[in-house]
Structure 1
């Protein structure tokens, strides 16, 4: 039952995604605002720090937005209204969409530290949402794509974006002598990203979407460090290594898991 609450959830999800899209339009300068790369004195641009991915990496937002739009439409269907998985996931997806849009508002109108706080909140919300998607298994292609896929891609990309956003803040506000240790710190952070990527893969039973988004962003981070400013061969190579790790681990884990299932079924 709880039909009124279920209908409210569907409306809230649609409203949250609409807010996110409007905020994205403002963030890209479509309504006359300043594009993200020019905000905060250029601190959020692709050349702002050693851990900033090259500009093409951000095209993944288009994929995430399209999938979130598709999810908002799909979950609004009468057949989805009272599903237990939609009840478990819908409110959380709405929160992540609002926080996604809020980050763009913070970047446009507030300060760099507040953007870090905003993206950390988004990351926490995505961790909770993705964990719920793992513990509340779905069925069929649409469940896999529009719940597991979109939340996984969103989580993977925002994990790296949180690193880039924090690095942009520290680079812009830290003392000049921090630059001497920049490469060492960047490589150490990338090592932590590798651990996080492997941890997400293991905790999610080898779901591939988070690693795919992480690997995408890390690959473009490598391109940025090897081909554009600020250049760093060491950081570029480290990013390539981590990109391979975070996508290879869930792929190998999936193969091993499937092989074990086949073996057990034949026993």
Structure 2
């Protein structure tokens, strides 16, 4: 179908656009690295919610997954009628939208438009939530490992990290605008936002029946927030402790949810098998 070909090409082009944007955003193409752009508002020591520099290495895994997905969905097998092809018709454009928004976010930060970058990353978060919902709802029992990694894993990893990045970006904007916390101490605000991020991660774990990828990247970001608050110039024991405790609790809760979900699925399969093959006497 021509519409399928157009969609697959659009996804591939958007993936290239995102990678080029990331290349520029890293400073490798002569641009200013994200941590130094916008007057350093997103640097590791700019706010209490800013993760340490090494945290951003997770983008390598995310971009690798996105490139892998873009190539995989171009393969002839994904154009044939079947469950996988139908799934890609549902996911293609939502994923492409996140790629365009990601590039737009990088460009807005490079241009020093911190307020615009905050709006863009919130829209990106919403787009990723939509993509995640679709990923969960279209997942098939027995789907291949490659599809699980490139589709489910990549979208989950992407979403979890953007949850952390959104909190950091909005905090950076509020700080740059001179937000005084309405009388609440900065540490209290930092702890509150960390806990909110953890609750959001728990919500994703419950909805996704214990999907590990969103939790992994969200916990990764929180741990690096803790590192930044203990080794950087902006020290906060309260925020660091909250970040570590929240990350740990989120991982444990997700694993428990996963174990329970798998046990229920196996039990349901066993009951279905028994009903289909009743014992004979």
Give the TM-score of the pair, scaled to structure 1. 0.95
Q: Which moved more, 1:137-146 or 1:68-77?
A: 137-146
1:253 to 251, 257, 266: 257
> How far apart are residue 261 of structure 1 and its match?
3.6
> How far apart are residue 34 of structure 1 and its match?
1.1
- Aligned residue in 2 for 1:50: 48
- Aligned residue in 1 for 2:58: 60
Alpha-carbon distance between aligned partners in 2 of 1:261 and 1:11, rounded to the nearest angstrom: 36
Q: Of the two, which has the highest radius of gyration?
A: 2
Alpha-carbon distance between aligned partners in 1 of 2:258 and 2:136, rounded to the nearest angstrom: 15
Alpha-carbon distance between aligned partners in 1 of 2:133 and 2:163, rounded to the nearest angstrom: 14
Alpha-carbon distance between aligned partners in 2 of 1:84 and 1:117, rounded to the nearest angstrom: 32
- Aligned residue in 1 for 2:100: 98
Matches within 5 A, 1:147-226: 147-175=151-179, 181-226=185-230
Alpha-carbon distance between aligned partners in 2 of 1:245 and 1:24, rounded to the nearest angstrom: 32
Distance change >3 Å, CA 142–CA 173, structure 1 → 2: same
Q: Which runs of 5+ in 1 are unaligned?
A: none
SS in 2 for 1:37: coil
Distance change >3 Å, CA 161–CA 177, structure 1 → 2: closer
Runs ≥4 in structure 1, deviation > 6 angstroms? 177-180
Give the TM-score of the pair, scaled to structure 2. 0.90
Q: Which moved more, 1:247-256 or 1:4-13?
A: 247-256
Q: Which runs of 5+ in 2 are unaligned?
A: 275-281
Distance change >3 Å, CA 227–CA 178, structure 1 → 2: farther
1:234 matches 2:238: yes
Alpha-carbon distance between aligned partners in 1 of 2:69 and 2:181, rounded to the nearest angstrom: 47
- Aligned residue in 2 for 1:119: 121
Alpha-carbon distance between aligned partners in 2 of 1:113 and 1:166, rounded to the nearest angstrom: 8
Distance change >3 Å, CA 113–CA 256, structure 1 → 2: same
Work out the number of aligned pairs and report it. 265
Deviations 1:20-58 (A, max 9, x none): 111111111222111111111100111110001111100
1:134 matches 2:136: yes
Distance change >3 Å, CA 70–CA 177, structure 1 → 2: closer
Deviations 1:192-238 (A, max 9, x none): 11211111111112111100100000011111111212100111000
Alpha-carbon distance between aligned partners in 1 of 2:40 and 2:182, rounded to the nearest angstrom: 19
